[in-house]
Amino acid sequence: MFYNLSDKELEALKIIRNSLVHQGRIPSVRELMIGLNYKSPRSSAVLLKSLEEKEILRKKMDGSYQIVDFEIPEDYGSRAQTVKIPLLGSVACGIPIFADENIEAEVSISVEMIKKGCKYFLLRAEGDSMDKAGINNGDLLLIKQQQDAENGDRILALIDDEATVKEYNKSNGMVILKPKSNNKIHQPIILTDNFRIQGVVENVIKL
């Protein structure tokens, strides 16, 4: 699959993969140019051309490129593929969740943990309100960006300008966010359903 690719071609593929995860599309000739530190769109266009000739990319009807196979190679284990997921710092209300000011770092995550076409981000867990659910202070939460959730999901919500992870429960037009640990400090939060879910916790990474 990825045989006989030059270093530059592999680097281009890496950038394309990341662009697919975060922007949902193949980068433009000029975006790729910047990513590869080229100075002319020609250089990256030639690279795309050669990837097309090697049948890694394909041209669609409208002229735009499409990646032929974004699947994991069989010998994945020895050849881990990753995408970069932004690690968000403080998520304040009103600020778009992907605003550059919020991005603390970029963390490489195996593509095996990522669903194609979905947007993800990482958040550092603070406090211990979820420790019964296996989330401890300092853990990294891999969160899939979405607006809906199933009952029982651990969701990220913005409550009073704070990023909060709680268990989602909806019934009778009311939404109850339960902390997993049931003590006096962490009481459930009861809201109407006119609030926005930011995402669902897909994985908890203990560092």
Q: Which residues are catalytic?
A: 129, 166
Residue numbers of the site for DNA (CB under 7 A)? 6, 8, 26, 28-31, 37-43, 45-49, 63-65
- Annotate each residue in 31-70 with x if it binds a second copy (CB under 8 A) or - if it does not, as one string: ----------------------------------------
CA distances from 170 to 4, 42, 174, 175, 205 (A): 53, 54, 6, 4, 27
Residue count, binding to a second copy (CB under 8 A): 57
Shortest spacing between CB 40 and a second copy, in angstroms: 23
CA distances from 138 to 125, 134, 168, 170, 199 (A): 5, 12, 22, 28, 19
Say how far apart CA 93 and CA 159 lie, in whole Å: 8
- What three-state secondary structure class fits 30? helix
Applying CB under 8 A, which of residues 51, 57, 88, 109 lies at the interface with a second copy? 109
Kindly state whether residue 116 participates in binding a second copy, applying the rule CB under 8 A: no
* Cα within 13 Å of Cα(106), Cβ side: 7
Applying CB under 8 A, which of residues 79, 98, 115, 116 lies at the interface with a second copy? 79
Kindly state whether residue 158 participates in binding a second copy, applying the rule CB under 8 A: yes
Query: Quick count: other Cβ atoms within 10 Å of Cβ 118?
Result: 13
CA distances from 172 to 126, 175, 191 (A): 31, 8, 11
From the list 83, 120, 105, 82, the residue with the least C-alpha distance to 202 is 120
46 is in the binding site of which of a second copy, DNA, none (Cβ under 5 to 8 A by kind)? Answer: DNA
User: Rule CB under 8 A: which residues touch a second copy?
Assistant: 1-5, 7, 10, 14, 76-82, 87, 90, 92-95, 104-110, 112-113, 140, 157-161, 171-172, 174, 176, 178, 184, 187-192, 194-196, 198, 203-207
